[in-house]
A = this chain, B = another copy of it.
Amino acid sequence: MIQIPLATIRRYPAYLRLLEQLEAEGCADVSASSIANRLGLTGVQVRKDLAYTQAEGRPKTGYDLKELSWALREALGWNNATDAYLVGVGSLGEALLRFGGFENHGLNILAAFDTDEKKVNTSMGKKKIFPMDKFKDLVARTGVKIGIITTPKEAAQAVADLMVSAGIKGIWNFAPAEISVPEGIVLQQVDLTTELAVLSARLQMGRENG
């Protein structure tokens, strides 16, 4: 099978979230067009997207809900969670540590790191907070490959450099700074203001979808 298009991958989490809601409501099957309706897409698009997974739908009934969930999670690599460390326990870091949903979404935040002595050696949402100077050693010992940056923007580049030198392969950067990493390291920038930009563009220009 050909590589799944990124545009498709981006829609999978929304499908999964909807499926979880439907499952909670007691549904057992779901049709591509009902997913499409609920999410403001078209039926064909949903079927095309789902065709990249193993899940097979049946005419008249649609897709088996559990089977489809599993197939989507498999395609996303969410059935086996990857370990990660988080650096920077400010209010955003706290929000991520307290958000319980990542374990079900392929990410297992093992612990957090901060420079603030008042925070070090305390816990937040069941995750221990270590001092920064333990970072390299712990990455070496645990083999963690993903690092999450939730520091102020001034510290982001230095933290990224530390992560790379420690052996981290994928960085999820929430700090509002453009950081650079060597080739081979995957950097995923999360920028709330990007979503905001899309919202205001849609409001101003009257775009229904986005």
Does A176 sit at the interface, judged by CB under 8 A?
Answer: yes
Q: Is A76 touching B197 in the complex (CB atoms < 8 A)?
A: yes
Does A178 sit at the interface, judged by CB under 8 A?
Answer: yes
Q: Which of A4, A77, A183 is the most central at the interface, judged by chain B CB atoms within 10 Å of its CB?
A: A77
Q: Is A201 touching B13 in the complex (CB atoms < 8 A)?
A: no
With a cutoff of 8 Å between Cβ atoms, the chain B residues found around residue A199 in the complex are 146, 170, 172, 186, 188
With a cutoff of 8 Å between Cβ atoms, the chain B residues found around residue A21 in the complex are 177-178
Cβ 8 A contact of A14, one of B38, B95, B178, B203: B178
Q: Which of A177-210 contact B (CB under 8 A)?
A: 177-178, 180, 183, 186, 188-205, 207-208, 210
Q: Which of A1-55 contact B (CB under 8 A)?
A: 3-4, 6, 9-10, 12-14, 17-18, 21, 38-39
With a cutoff of 8 Å between Cβ atoms, the chain B residues found around residue A91 in the complex are 91, 94-95, 98-99
* Copy count, this protein chain: 2
With a cutoff of 8 Å between Cβ atoms, the chain B residues found around residue A82 in the complex are 200, 203
Cβ 8 A contact of A197, one of B3, B9, B96, B194: B9
Does A106 sit at the interface, judged by CB under 8 A?
Answer: yes
Q: Is A39 touching B94 in the complex (CB atoms < 8 A)?
A: no
Q: Is B188 touching A13 in the complex (CB atoms < 8 A)?
A: no
With a cutoff of 8 Å between Cβ atoms, the chain B residues found around residue A207 in the complex are 6, 186
Q: How far is the CA of A169 from the CA of B77 in the complex (A)?
A: 36
Cβ 8 A contact of A9, one of B3, B191, B201: B201
Q: Is B198 touching A6 in the complex (CB atoms < 8 A)?
A: yes
Does A70 sit at the interface, judged by CB under 8 A?
Answer: no
Within the complex, the shortest CB–CB distance from A170 to chain B, in Å, comes to: 5
Does A132 sit at the interface, judged by CB under 8 A?
Answer: no
Does A107 sit at the interface, judged by CB under 8 A?
Answer: yes
Q: Is B191 touching A190 in the complex (CB atoms < 8 A)?
A: no
